[in-house]
Amino acid sequence: MEEKNLDELRRQIDAIDDSILELLNRRAALVIEVGRRKAATGQPFFVPSRERAIYDRLAANNPGPFPSSAIRGVYREIISASLSLEQPLTVVYLGPQATFTQEAAIRQFGLSARLVPAKSTAMVFDEVLRGRAQYGVVPVENSNEGIVSHTLDMFLESDLKIYAEILLEVSQSLLNLSGRMEDIKRVISHPHALGQCRLWLEENLPETPQLDVSSTARAAQMAVEDPSCAALASEMAASLYGLKVVKRKIEDNPNNFTRFLVIAKASPAPSGADKTSLMFSVRDQPGILCRMLEPFSKRGINLTKIESRPIRKKAWEYVFFLDLEGHLAESAIAAAVEELRSHCQFVKVLGSYPRSITLRQE
């Protein structure tokens, strides 16, 4: 009797799955028509604000018991497949495979996009600039280790814009071939990953040498080649390269997030919850920074980040990178930026784009 009841429940689930499949195909037919109209009017196919609105609306209307936290993951792949029907997307990211940058790209664009690894940040910018990829994904800062200087430097040389941002929770695992701590003679990883796990390494592997490499994925590759090495990397790297997890979640601060930027040839339209990034250069003078920030202060514009970098070709001159809330299309933002221009050697708007929600590891 119990088995018959179970069979009936399974038949009901199968019928619901058939209905879901029918609805997905009806949705796909509408998406194809949307794609035709976008192509005819020259509108962008990927609109991050539209995706965010879909996730937020569905989560708000969800009566349960299906968890709202899972809605984004489900619809990310539905939207990704839909975008591939409108126009196949090519996205280049800072590789190699199994880096956190690849994970961020998957979280933003889904598995239906064509994701291509690049060997350097400069190559990511170049691929997008030359039109071989519509979008690029690069890391820009970590909540514990700070700014990724090379990414900021690239914006000095490029006319590409920030199209979106991704805030991804980052968790480091210790990986090697055997899965045993006693086999570890050297720990290798990207400098930021080693820095994120500094206290744990000092306590658990105090005498073990550490080696900086170009990425966490490269560290995983080296751990495959040398059984005496352990890598700090993601669990995705363990799966991809055939390593075993010695210890999970060994970052010193559990609130460990990395911010990634999506770059493109243009910025998106206002979404209503936006951020603007810009850079400007001034001569080193007493009180100059205070004067540079006054256009924003007197208009009540909230600044969320400011970083400075020396201009490598000019001694004692600096370029500042600024994030603020709002879109350049807003009159107050536009006026503040224009006033800033009158005081600076140069001002460059890097883009206005939707503020990201925080994506936790799945």
Look up residue 318 and give its two tokens. 């600096």
Catalytic residue, chosen from 258, 296, 320, 321, is 258
**From CA 107, how far away is CA 80, in angstroms rounded?**
10
**From CA 39, how far away is CA 33, in angstroms rounded?**
10
Which element (helix H / strand E) includes 269? none
SS3 170: coil
**From CA 90, how far away is CA 45, in angstroms rounded?**
12
Q: Does the annotation mark 260 as catalytic?
A: yes
| Contacting residues for 240 by C-beta, under 8 A, at least 6 apart | 97, 98, 220
Q: Does the annotation mark 100 as catalytic?
A: no
The number of beta carbons lying within 10 Å of the beta carbon of residue 107 is: 20
SS3 346: strand
Catalytic residue, chosen from 100, 125, 155, 260, is 260
Task: Report whether 174 contacts 160 (CB < 8 A).
Answer: no
Q: Which residues are catalytic?
A: 258, 260
